[in-house]
């Protein structure tokens, strides 16, 4: 693909955060950009930044639906993460031989500096944020980008060779890469997710595995030795595998021994800090810390610099986030638990006495695997959203259940049933799009409802 975009005709599909960022970059490069989305202008507030003067390129908005002609008459296409590559109109482009790439692919072709790519079914945002904090704490020029909030393309203009980018990557983004080559790539874990988008679990795994597609021996693959699927990849990647484990010693990477985090590489072993320095709740967050430390050390962080950043790190909003205590009852927001496995990890962070709020838009998840942790830890389950009935059937007999028509009602019901020492936990195990704009909107609604409790 020609790296000079002046006068090129580019179709950007999807006008959310990543799509509008890609459009801005291309317009600034002198391209003729068509931005298409099925939503209308009033539902796309980000577009306002594109409408002002000052860009050498030309912008055409194609909103309220896609036009087949636009997919035939362009030099290349940039696809937003939320747009499936199975979109019918993209089939037209493939037949015409038109290149189709993701925003991160476009960004990586122009970005100066090194990329640490982080994916997995759960823990991506926490780990990406933590890698960024560890880099900055070590005096390195760290940045956080990708699916975490800031599109990578937005950082291209000011990038330098000294910069290190911790980039959260979804399977959707990885579907659209071609030459993307992170110097560190990581898959934190793999459990069924987005089964409403993929034909099967293997297809989902294949999309995640693309993070290692272009790596060689000089790059690193950071993998979870305690996860069956990721551990198997250590012998399959072309890059140098670096493992992390909460349960056993690894030949190269980070692991836990007698309550101390250890890093081992070709130079030998180094004690990092005691596990007690990790303030985040849940065994899964200890795994996230192990992974983040391995990545930061590979990027050049000094081992002695890590503990202070770990102690200071209190977690990320909407990830087992403490909200408030009311009459001895603790309220936690884990709205980011958008799949079944994430909800299980959330439940396992507490010993019991949980009043759980769950439900939303089903992603073809298997809710029956929730039976044991729910039976062992949950006093009462309040169901919300489209998946309420499916969850009710899957967990019938495991726990007492109620149903609420809104987040405010769900929180109020839990508040009435809770007793001192109990935990009210939002861990939906579902997507949010039936009732909310996204998981962040859902989490804010929960927190507002909690703060409104007397």
Indicate which residue of 66, 124, 336, 380 is catalytic.
Answer: 124
**SS3 of the chain:** CCCCCCCCEEEEECCCHHHHHHHHHHHHCCCEEEEEECCCHHHCHHHHHHCCCCCCCEEEEEECCCCHHHHHCCCEEEECCCCCCCCHHHHHHHHCCCCEEEHHHHHHCCCCCEEEEEECCCCHHHHHHHHHHHHHHCCCEEEEEECCCCCHHHHCCCCCCCEEEEEECCHHHHHCCCCCCCCEEEECCCCCCCCCCCCCHHHHHHHHHHHHCCCCCCCEEEEECCCHHHHHHCCCCCCEEEEEECCCCCCCEEEEECCEEEEEECCEEEEEEEHHHCCCCCHHHHHHHHHHHHHHHHCCCCHHHHHHHHHHCCCCCCCCEEEEEECCEEEEECCCCCCHHHHHHHHHCCCCCEEEEECCECCCCCHHHHHHHHHHHEEEEEECCCCHHHHHHHCCCCCEEEECCCHHHHHHHHHHHCCCCCEEEECCCCECCCCCCCHHHHHHHHHHHHHCCC
- What is the number of other CB atoms lying within 10 angstroms of the CB of residue 277? 18
**35 vs 82: CA distance, rounded Å:** 14
Does 194 qualify as catalytic in the annotation? yes
Phi, psi of 317 (to 5 degrees): -55, 140
Sequence-distant (≥ 6) Cβ neighbours of residue 24 within 8 angstroms: 49, 50, 55, 153, 154
Does 4 qualify as catalytic in the annotation? no
**6 vs 416: CA distance, rounded Å:** 62
**440 vs 453: CA distance, rounded Å:** 20
Taking CA atoms, 5 is separated from 31, 56, 398, 407, in Å, by 5, 11, 59, 47
Q: Do 153 and 159 meet the contact criterion of CB atoms below 8 Å apart?
A: no
Indicate which residue of 143, 194, 208, 284 is catalytic.
Answer: 194
Indicate which residue of 122, 147, 189, 224 is catalytic.
Answer: 147
Structure tokens at 293: 């430390």
Does 112 qualify as catalytic in the annotation? no
Hey, which residues are catalytic here?
A: 124, 147, 194
């Amino acid at each position: 693909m020609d790296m000079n975009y002046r006068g090129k005709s580019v179709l950007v599909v999807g006008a959310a955060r990543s799509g509008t960022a890609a459009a801005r970059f291309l317009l600034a490069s002198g391209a003729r950009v068509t931005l298409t989305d099925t939503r209308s202008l009033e539902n796309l507030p980000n577009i306002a930044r594109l409408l002002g003067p000052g860009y050498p390129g030309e912008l055409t908005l194609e909103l309220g639906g896609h036009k087949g002609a636009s997919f035939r008459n362009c030099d290349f296409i940039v696809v937003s993460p939320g747009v499936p590559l199975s979109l019918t109109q993209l089939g037209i482009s493939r037949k015409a031989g038109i290149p189709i790439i993701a925003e991160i692919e476009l960004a990586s072709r122009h970005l100066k500096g090194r990329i640490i790519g982080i994916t997995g079914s759960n823990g991506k945002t926490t780990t990406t944020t933590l890698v960024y904090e560890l880099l900055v704490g070590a005096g390195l020029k760290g940045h956080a980008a990708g699916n975490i909030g800031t599109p990578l393309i937005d950082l291209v203009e000011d990038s330098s060779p000294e910069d290190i980018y911790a980039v959260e990557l979804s399977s959707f983004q990885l579907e659209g890469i071609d030459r993307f080559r992170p110097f560190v790539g990581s898959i934190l874990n793999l459990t069924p997710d987005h089964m409403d988008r993929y034909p099967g679990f293997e297809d989902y795994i294949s999309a995640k595995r693309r993070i290692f597609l272009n790596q060689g021996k000089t790059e690193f693959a950071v993998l979870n030795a305690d996860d069956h699927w990721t551990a198997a990849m250590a012998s399959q990647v072309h890059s140098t595998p670096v493992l992390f484990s909460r349960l056993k010693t690894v030949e190269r990477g980070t692991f836990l021994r007698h309550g101390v985090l250890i890093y081992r590489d070709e130079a030998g072993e180094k004690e990092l800090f005691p596990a007690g320095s990790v303030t985040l709740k849940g065994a899964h967050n200890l795994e996230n810390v192990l992974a983040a430390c391995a990545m930061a050390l590979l990027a050049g962080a000094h081992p002695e610099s890590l503990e202070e950043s770990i102690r200071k790190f209190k977690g990320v909003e909407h990830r087992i986030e403490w909200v408030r205590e009311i009459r001895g009852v603790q309220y936690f927001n884990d709205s980011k638990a958008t799949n079944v496995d994430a909800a299980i990890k959330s439940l396992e962070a507490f010993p019991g006495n949980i009043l759980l709020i769950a439900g939303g838009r089903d992603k073809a998840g298997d809710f029956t695997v929730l039976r044991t942790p729910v039976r062992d830890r949950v006093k009462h389950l309040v169901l919300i959203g489209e998946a309420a009935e499916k969850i009710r059937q899957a967990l019938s007999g495991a726990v007492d259940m109620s149903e609420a028509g809104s987040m405010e009602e769900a929180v109020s019901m839990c508040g009435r049933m809770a007793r001192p020492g109990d935990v009210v936990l939002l861990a939906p195990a579902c997507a949010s799009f039936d009732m909310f704009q996204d998981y962040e909107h859902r989490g804010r609604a929960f927190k507002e409802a909690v703060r409104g409790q007397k």
